[in-house]
């Protein structure tokens, strides 16, 4: 029984968080520095961008997580600390500041940065903000919320989620904060996602859970097909729930994976719906594919198509673009067996059967596609595999935001 609860990253036992405005951003009303901290040392796992150009914080975080343990996460927004001189030195210094102010060894600190690429990140505002940041740490919904706000860039709302679940008889909690919302095509992007849990789980099994989960969560999400240089998804498990530690595959691990996926898939929907300039969430579910890989390729290709995204923005039931995107997806499909439905709260419109168009009401189609959450259901009718991918519509606002992001 997985149940949604309040509290974000502070929902699990023993996790505090906070966020402040330290001055990296000029806008004083927007927090720009976050800290998440566990009372005890945690199993820790991470997955990172596959971009060859990697943010300096990723190099430092990878090194700090090499032993499988961590206890704190420090994150700034407003500057990606990427493609600049001495980025690694600055990222290391951020970890040292956490040690100086909390006593947690720098080598147990996860560090991340998000914002503009290629501008020098000054340590001065971060150093000056540490006192207020550490003083504000609290295990409360407000703490998680302040941290979630501090990691936002072009996000229009905070991404927080938490669930409770039961593991070996013990009540456990898992929570997360994340940010998007441009340069998002995680493989793994300037996407950041931090999960906390009080479940007891070994570093190896936590890494396995995270590595598996991204394949059906973040890697199935795209705002603009641009895989960022700074994508980071880290999970911390402090074990304070008191469950028997998960150290191998089996029922308990499966329950943990389900709880983790509840968190990450919920965040994917939130991240997609808040994609830069987006007005609509697009969720594509492909069923009946030959293999899981085929289903994933097909679903991801549909939500990635600029043409389909623009059509959804215009509430135009241009299903030929779905077929087109399926056709170049790389998935092995029988094109004359494909069925496509557009679906939303307003109803369902079958638009394609067996690879060919069927008559439909343009009026109903317009109504269906004018909702905020659009579902595209693709039946391949050539196997048993299924996958879901998340994206958003392509709008004037996306162009506007990205025509003038840096200046």
The CA-CA-CA angle for residues 96, 98, 102, to 5°, reads: 125
Residues 53-72 interacting with a copy of itself (rule: CB under 8 A): 53-54
Shortest Å distance, C-beta 205 to a copy of itself:
29
Contacts with a copy of itself, 268-297, as mask; x by CB under 8 A? ------------------------------
Question: Is the four-CA dihedral 362, 367, 370, 372 of positive or negative sign?
Answer: negative
Choose among 3, 198, 23: nearest CA to 126.
Answer: 23
Question: CB count, 10 Å around CB of 161?
Answer: 27
- 144 lines the binding site for a copy of itself (CB under 8 A): no
The least CB distance from residue 330 to a copy of itself, in Å, is 9
Among 2, 6, 83, 346, binds a copy of itself (CB under 8 A): 83
Helix, strand or coil, per DSSP, at residue 77:
strand
- Considering only residues 122, 128, 357, 361, which one is a binding residue for a copy of itself as defined by CB under 8 A? 357
- Annotation marks residue 49 as catalytic: no
Is residue 122 close enough to count as binding a copy of itself by CB under 8 A? Answer: no
Least distance in angstroms from the C-beta of 119 to a copy of itself: 7
Q: Which is nearer to a copy of itself, 168 or 320 (CB)?
A: 320
400 binds a copy of itself (CB under 8 A): yes
Q: Is 183 in the site for a copy of itself (CB under 8 A)?
A: yes
Q: Which is nearer to a copy of itself, 148 or 338 (CB)?
A: 338
How far lies 247's CA from each of 201, 208, 219, 233, in Å?
6, 11, 26, 21
Among 43, 82, 114, 243, binds a copy of itself (CB under 8 A): 82
C-alpha span between 284 and 150 (Å, rounded): 31
Determine the Cα–Cα distance for residues 188 and 181; give it in Å rounded to an integer: 14
Identify which of residues 87 and 239 has a Cβ nearer to a copy of itself in the complex: 87
Catalytic residue, chosen from 61, 82, 154, 190, is 190
Closer Cβ to a copy of itself, 53 or 348, answer by number: 53
Structure tokens at 63: 């090194």
For residue 407, CA distances in Å to 274, 346, 401, 402, 403 come to 22, 41, 11, 10, 9
Q: Does 405 bind a copy of itself (CB under 8 A)?
A: yes
The two structure tokens encoding residue 248: 């191998």
- For residues 382 and 334, the answer to whether their CB atoms sit within 8 Å is yes
Residue (10 or 121) nearer to a copy of itself, CB = 121
CA angle, 343 as apex, 342 and 348 as ends, to 5°? 90
Cα atoms in the Cβ-side hemisphere of radius 13 Å centred on 394: 16
Residue 219 in the binding site for a copy of itself (CB under 8 A): no
Q: Are 57 and 190 in contact (CB under 8 A)?
A: no
Find the shortest distance in angstroms from Cβ 363 to a copy of itself.
12
Number of DSSP helices (H) and strands (E) in the chain, helices first = 11, 15
Query: Could you give the 3-state DSSP secondary structure of residue 41?
Result: strand
Among 4, 40, 50, 122, binds a copy of itself (CB under 8 A): 50
Binding mask 301-340 for a copy of itself (x = CB under 8 A): ---xxxx--xx-xxxxxxxxx-xxxxxx----x-x-----
- Would you please indicate which residues are annotated as catalytic (active-site) residues? 190
Contacting positions for a copy of itself (CB under 8 A): 49-54, 80, 82-85, 116-120, 182-183, 187, 224-229, 304-307, 310-311, 313-321, 323-328, 333, 335, 352, 355-357, 362, 394-396, 398-407
């Amino acid at each position: 029984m997985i149940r949604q609860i309040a509290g974000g990253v502070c929902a699990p036992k023993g996790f505090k968080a906070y966020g402040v405005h330290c001055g990296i951003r000029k806008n004083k009303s927007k927090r720009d520095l976050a800290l998440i901290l566990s009372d005890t040392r945690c199993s820790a796992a991470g997955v990172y961008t596959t971009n060859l150009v990697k943010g300096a914080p990723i190099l430092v975080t990878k090194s700090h997580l090499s032993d499988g343990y961590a206890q704190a996460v420090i994150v700034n927004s407003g500057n990606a600390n990427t493609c600049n001189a001495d980025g690694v030195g600055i990222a290391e210094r951020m970890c040292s500041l956490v040690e100086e102010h909390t006593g947690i060894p720098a080598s147990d600190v996860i560090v991340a940065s998000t914002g503009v690429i290629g501008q020098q990140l000054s340590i001065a505002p971060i150093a000056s903000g540490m006192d207020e940041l550490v003083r504000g740490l609290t295990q409360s919904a407000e703490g998680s919320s302040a941290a979630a706000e501090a990691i936002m860039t072009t996000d229009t709302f905070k991404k927080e989620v938490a669930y409770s679940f039961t593991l070996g008889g013990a009540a456990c909690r898992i929570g997360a904060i994340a940010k998007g919302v441009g340069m998002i095509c995680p493989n793994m992007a300037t996407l950041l996602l931090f999960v906390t849990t009080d479940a007891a789980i070994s570093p190896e099994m936590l890494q396995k859970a995270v590595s598996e989960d991204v394949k059906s969560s973040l890697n199935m999400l795209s705002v603009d097909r641009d895989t960022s240089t700074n994508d980071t998804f880290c999970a911390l498990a402090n074990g304070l729930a008191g469950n028997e530690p998960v150290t191998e595959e089996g029922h308990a691990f499966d329950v943990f994976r389900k709880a983790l996926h509840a968190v990450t898939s919920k965040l994917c929907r939130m991240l997609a719906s808040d994609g830069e300039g987006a007005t609509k969430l697009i969720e594509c579910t492909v069923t009946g594919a030959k293999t899981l890989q085929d289903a994933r390729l097909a679903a991801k290709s549909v939500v990635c198509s600029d043409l389909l995204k623009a059509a959804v923005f215009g509430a135009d039931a241009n299903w030929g673009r779905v077929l087109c995107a399926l056709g170049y997806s790389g998935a092995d499909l029988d094109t004359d067996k494909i069925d496509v439905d557009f679906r939303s709260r307003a109803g369902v419109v079958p638009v394609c059967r067996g690879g060919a168009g069927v008559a439909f009401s343009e009026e109903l189609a317009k109504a269906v596609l004018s909702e905020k959450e659009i579902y595209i259901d693709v039946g391949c009718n050539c196997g048993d595999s299924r996958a879901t991918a998340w994206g958003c519509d392509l709008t004037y606002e996306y162009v506007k935001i990205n025509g003038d992001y840096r200046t």
